[in-house]
């Protein structure tokens, strides 16, 4: 059960109700739904934007949204999660890094709580995009999302490599200019279809799908082949004369 809280007009939840915010959510839900659909396990966490369920397409039985405040299942700071180590199969971070005081420490916590071969999906605003330019020249630098510290993609990749979080998939999205009015977003819709082809690194948001790798780890799988060999039963062939059925039965007994 989630705790209830009022939505402030300038909060992330309030901005996500604007035309630009709804466009961002549409893009992010589309990617995250595809990314988590085939991830299996028992426990999944979402860090950030608790008003929106980014785990809706996951088939993992236990799901929990975590944030310092808001309608959450667990209130906690991302840099110090009250979660057991090596216990989480899937972890989502929708814009948790740009608005955290210590993004590298948050990634350390991600590595700690993830099980070996556990998955994490990260969504971040791209500073090398029209959205990044809007942040630089915006007068409302204290408003969401322009108040965040957008992280360069190469820098984030370096952090992930140091923590042995292996990048297995990723892409960019939200190629439209960050217009505040819906009519202008509709007029620039053609840029969305052409973005992946003509300017794939200039999307307003980038997504990274990483897996926790552990050196020297060996997965122990069930001995299916040996079990199948023990369960095999010899079937006698069809006899052509009276002597062959007796020989077939004798061979089964000797086995």
175-190 pLDDT, tens digit per residue, is 888 888 888 888 887 7
Q: How far is CA 74 from CA 3, 48, 62, in A?
A: 9, 11, 13
Shared-domain flag, residues 208 and 248: no
**26-85: per-residue pLDDT in tens?**
999 999 999 999 999 999 999 999 999 999 999 999 999 999 987 789 999 999 999 999
Range of the domain at 105: 12-212
Shared-domain flag, residues 133 and 183: yes
pLDDT of residue 193: 72
Does a structural domain hold residue 5? Answer: no
Shared-domain flag, residues 134 and 250: no
- Neighbour count for residue 251 (Cβ, 10 Å): 11
Shared-domain flag, residues 172 and 106: yes
CATH code assigned at 36:
3.40.50.150
CB 202 within 8 A of CB 40: no
Does a structural domain hold residue 111? Answer: yes
**CA-CA distance, 86 to 207, in Å (whole number)?**
23
Shared-domain flag, residues 230 and 202: no
Residue with tokens 């860090």: 47
**CA-CA distance, 176 to 184, in Å (whole number)?**
9
Does a structural domain hold residue 220? Answer: no
Does a structural domain hold residue 4? Answer: no
Task: Please report, in angstroms and rounded to a whole number, the separation of the first and last CA atoms in the chain.
Answer: 60
Does a structural domain hold residue 207? Answer: yes
Shared-domain flag, residues 161 and 248: no
**83-126: per-residue pLDDT in tens?**
999 999 999 999 999 998 899 999 999 999 999 999 999 999 99
pLDDT at position 138 over 60:
yes
pLDDT at position 226 over 50:
yes
- Among 101-110, 142-151, 198-207, 213-222, top mean pLDDT goes to 101-110
Backbone angles phi, psi at 108, to 5 degrees: -65, -40
Q: Identify the residue with better confidence: 12 or 160.
A: 160
Please give the mean pLDDT across all residues of the chain. Answer: 83
Q: How confident is the model at residue 6 (pLDDT cuts 50, 70, 90)?
A: very low
Shared-domain flag, residues 46 and 161: yes
**CA-CA distance, 119 to 39, in Å (whole number)?**
8
Shared-domain flag, residues 235 and 208: no
Sheet holding 43-47, edge to edge: 74-75, 62-67, 43-47, 88-94, 114-125, 205-212, 165-173
Shared-domain flag, residues 243 and 191: no
pLDDT at position 237 over 60:
no
Does a structural domain hold residue 119? Answer: yes
Structural domains in the chain (count): 2
Shared-domain flag, residues 89 and 165: yes
Shared-domain flag, residues 243 and 169: no
Shared-domain flag, residues 204 and 234: no
Global pTM value: 0.77
- Among 151-160, 172-181, 226-235, top mean pLDDT goes to 151-160
Does a structural domain hold residue 24? Answer: yes
**CA-CA distance, 47 to 34, in Å (whole number)?**
18
Does a structural domain hold residue 7? Answer: no
pLDDT at position 194 over 80:
no
């Amino acid at each position: 059960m989630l705790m209830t809280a009022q939505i402030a007009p300038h909060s992330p939840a309030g901005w996500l109700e604007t035309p630009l915010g709804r466009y961002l959510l549409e893009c992010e839900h589309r990617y995250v739904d595809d990314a988590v659909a085939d991830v299996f396990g028992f426990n999944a966490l979402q860090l950030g934007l608790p008003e929106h369920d980014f785990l809706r397409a996951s088939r993992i039985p236990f799901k929990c949204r975590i944030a310092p405040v808001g309608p959450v299942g667990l209130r906690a700071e991302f840099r110090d999660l009250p979660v057991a180590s090596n216990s989480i199969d899937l972890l989502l971070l929708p814009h948790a890094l740009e608005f955290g005081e210590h993004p590298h420490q948050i990634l350390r916590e991600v590595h700690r709580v993830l099980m070996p071969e556990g998955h994490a999906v990260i969504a971040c605003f791209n500073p090398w995009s029209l959205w990044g330019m809007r942040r630089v020249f915006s007068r409302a630098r204290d408003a969401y999302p322009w108040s965040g510290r957008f992280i360069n993609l190469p820098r984030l990749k370096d952090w992930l490599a140091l923590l042995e979080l292996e990048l297995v998939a990723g892409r960019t999205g939200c190629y439209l200019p960050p217009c505040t009015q819906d009519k202008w977003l509709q007029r620039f819709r053609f840029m969305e279809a052409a973005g992946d082809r003509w300017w794939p690194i200039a999307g307003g948001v980038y997504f990274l799908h990483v897996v926790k790798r552990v050196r020297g780890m060996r997965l122990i799988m069930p001995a299916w082949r040996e079990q199948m060999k023990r369960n095999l039963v010899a079937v006698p062939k069809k006899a052509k004369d009276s002597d062959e059925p007796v020989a077939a039965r004798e061979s089964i007994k000797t086995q």
